[in-house]
Amino acid sequence: MDYIFDEIIDRKHEKYSYSFKWKSPDYVCDQLGIESIPENTICLETADMDFRTAPEIIEDLKGLTEHGIFGYSLIPESYREAVCGWYARRQDWTFSPDDIFYFPGTHEAIAQLVKHYTKTGEGVIVLTPCYGYHGDVEKNGREYVEVRLINDGKEYFTIDYDALENACKDPNNTMIIMCHPHNPTGRVFTHEELVKVADICRRNGVLIVSDEVHSDILRKGQEFEPMMKACGPEKLIACTAINKTFNLAGLAMTNVVISDPDLKLQSAGLYSMPSPFGIQAVISAYTRGDAWVDALNEYIDGNIDACMNYIAEHLPKASLSRPEGGYSLNIDFSPYGLSDEEVVDRIYVKAGVILNSGLFFDDWRGKQVHRACLSSPRSVCLKAFERIAEEFKDCQ
């Protein structure tokens, strides 16, 4: 089947669109101190996609809609088999269907894991600059402990093992949240990196939670190795989801994998059941979604190439590195030598393009670095950079 990713869907006005990204750029503006933005903004912030999910999934959800009864729903055995099948097939990672614990979303999962496996006041380590786990940690009364990644100056990041060892040696720090692939840096950690991190954590009694929700979205030539496959199940919990892979984040279906018998959750502490739409989406995605994900990855590679080429030609001073995983490009505008306010004004207000600034990610060079999610039709992504380049052309 041919899949179409070029169609522009109006997520701001169309009936049935409740898009957080397109309808609520206000939180970005508040964070950056912007009073008003143009009506015709292009939103490349928030890691979701502007593509319809796989037609195979839509077909099954239509079938469910026609069934017409949406009562309390149980996870069937076929759901667990679908999850196991996907990871065995796509990532050569096998685990038992009994190792799967459903949570309504990954944040909910991580917040619950933090609550369950750590004590109030303890520290949870995060390799930063990182996507927002602050709430999951701090709202539970735990301490968010940063171990900064090493930036080579061109926005390529590696792990500072000495700093990690020091943080793990502190007996108050009892958990690490690994973001693998790493958002926003786009790193897909190698086997050696994963093994070294696991070794440091386990020697110091630090429980590993590996958030792998971006693991199906990989740039060409990259291979993803699940941390549990690389390092074994001992003192390690993995978070997987259909949210990013299939643009189904709104269904909030996260599958946590726990294969270490010493860690088994007796109860996930949940009060609600998954919706039948979520259950069906997981089954359909993981049994019928392979070809769509392969086509998606090819399309995103094309977006990354097109935008990187455009930036090299029209924003030549901007600094960036090619992502290994995910669909975001991080662009450092500091070589332009403009003030923070000027950079923000040119991109967000004058060009009308909404990105995520470094402030969002543990203050990664503040308002000079901006993350663009290239998970929109190519023409939209390029239009955004055309608008930005126009605003920087006086200082090339």
Which chain residues interact with ligand PLP by CB under 6 A? 47, 105-107, 131, 179, 183, 211, 213-214, 241, 243, 249, 254
Give min distance, CB of 375 to ligand PLP, in A: 11
Closest CB to ligand PLP among residues 211, 340: 211
**262 CA to centre of own chain:** 28
Question: What torsion, rounded to 10 degrees, do the Cα atoms 245, 225, 254, 49 define?
Answer: -20
Which pair of structure tokens corresponds to residue 290?
């392979």
Give min distance, CB of 249 to ligand PLP, in A: 4
Lookup result for tokens 């690490």: 176
Give min distance, CB of 394 to ligand PLP, in A: 34
Give min distance, CB of 230 to ligand PLP, in A: 18
Q: Which of 167, 222, 223, 170 is nearest to 197 (CA)?
A: 167
Give min distance, CB of 379 to ligand PLP, in A: 24
Closest CB to ligand PLP among residues 242, 384: 242
Q: Where are the alpha helices (DSSP H) in 47-128?
A: 55-67, 77-91, 106-117
Task: Give the DSSP H or E segment for 241.
Answer: strand 236-241
Closest CB to ligand PLP among residues 146, 345: 146
Number of H helices, E strands in the chain: 13, 14
Q: Which residues pair with 124 in a beta bridge?
A: 144, 175
Which pair of structure tokens corresponds to residue 140?
């539970």
Closest CB to ligand PLP among residues 104, 377: 104
Which pair of structure tokens corresponds to residue 96?
């038992």
- Point out the residue whose Cβ comes nearest to ligand PLP: 106
Give min distance, CB of 136 to ligand PLP, in A: 9
Coil vs helix vs strand at 161: helix
Give min distance, CB of 285 to ligand PLP, in A: 14
Coil vs helix vs strand at 369: strand
Closest CB to ligand PLP among residues 155, 212: 212
Give min distance, CB of 315 to ligand PLP, in A: 25
Closest CB to ligand PLP among residues 49, 241: 241
Closest CB to ligand PLP among residues 218, 389: 218
For residue 22, give every residue at least 6 positions away whose Cβ sits within 8 Å of its Cβ, in sequence order, or none: 11, 12, 43
Closest CB to ligand PLP among residues 107, 378: 107
Buried b (16+ CB within 10 A) or exposed e, 223-239: ebbbbbbbbebebbbbb
Distance CA 275, CA 280 (A): 9
For residue 83, give every residue at least 6 positions away whose Cβ sits within 8 Å of its Cβ, in sequence order, or none: 97, 100, 240, 255, 282, 286
Lookup result for tokens 């469910």: 64
Asked if residues 320 and 331 have their Cβ atoms less than 8 Å apart, the reply is yes
Closest CB to ligand PLP among residues 145, 315: 145
Give min distance, CB of 308 to ligand PLP, in A: 21
